[in-house]
Amino acid sequence: MRNLLQDQLLKAGLVKKQQVDATVRAQNRQRDGKAPAPPAAEQVDAKKLLAERAERDRALAAERNALLRAKELQAQVRQLIENHKLSIRGEIDYRFTDAGKIKSIPVNDAARAQLAKGTLVIARHDDSYAILPRAFADQIRERGGIIALDHGQPAAPASPAAADDDYYARFQVPDDLIW
């Protein structure tokens, strides 16, 4: 059942006999209706629409999971602070800066000394502040919590534009200075 073109291509050596036979078999299958029909344009559009919907659903699910993870981390921070905060109250106001504002918390002499040494830290807890042992500061930071005061943390490297800082570094200010 070869046609003239197939014979000419075979004689010229451009195709092999197996290729011609495979082409003939494919044509016969298509004629007999055994070959799968090419997909209609509506089917192609439906598949494309389904793929777009699946991609959008994956993106929404990823966003939802990220929000849930953030809420979970906030809950863990809240729980860490609630479980480990120290109830230290005193007559001395310990002042510190948080977000560019000066805040104060009443403490006693022993707690003030420990805050100055860095064995205690102050963490922001909702609208207030809590005093915690230093061991929990890193756990709170890892979960996105805010540590307002931590004298035990190594200082950040100085910026090169701060030439005045070098001069004033000679004059040390004590950590336990009461304002």
pLDDT averaged over every residue in the chain: 81
Q: Which range, 47-56, 90-99, 136-145, has the best average confidence (pLDDT)?
A: 47-56
- Could you tell me what percent of the chain has a pLDDT over 70? 85
The domain limits of the chain are 1-33, 48-154
As a whole number of angstroms, the distance between CA 49 and CA 175 comes to: 64
Higher pLDDT, 67 or 38: 67
**Better-scored residue on pLDDT, 43 or 108:** 108
Asked if pLDDT for residue 66 goes beyond 90, the answer is yes
- List the helix and strand counts (H, then E) for the chain: 6, 5
Q: What is the DSSP string of 67-112?
A: HHHHHHHHHHHHHHHHHH-B----SEEEEEEETTEEEEEEE-HHHH
Neighbours of 115 (CB within 10 A): 25
Q: Identify the residue with better confidence: 3 or 107.
A: 107
Model pTM score: 0.52
φ and ψ at 56, to 5 degrees? Answer: -65, -40
Q: Which of 38-42, 72-76, 153-157 has the lowest mean pLDDT?
A: 153-157
pLDDT of 161 reads 46
* 154 or 30, which is more confident: 30
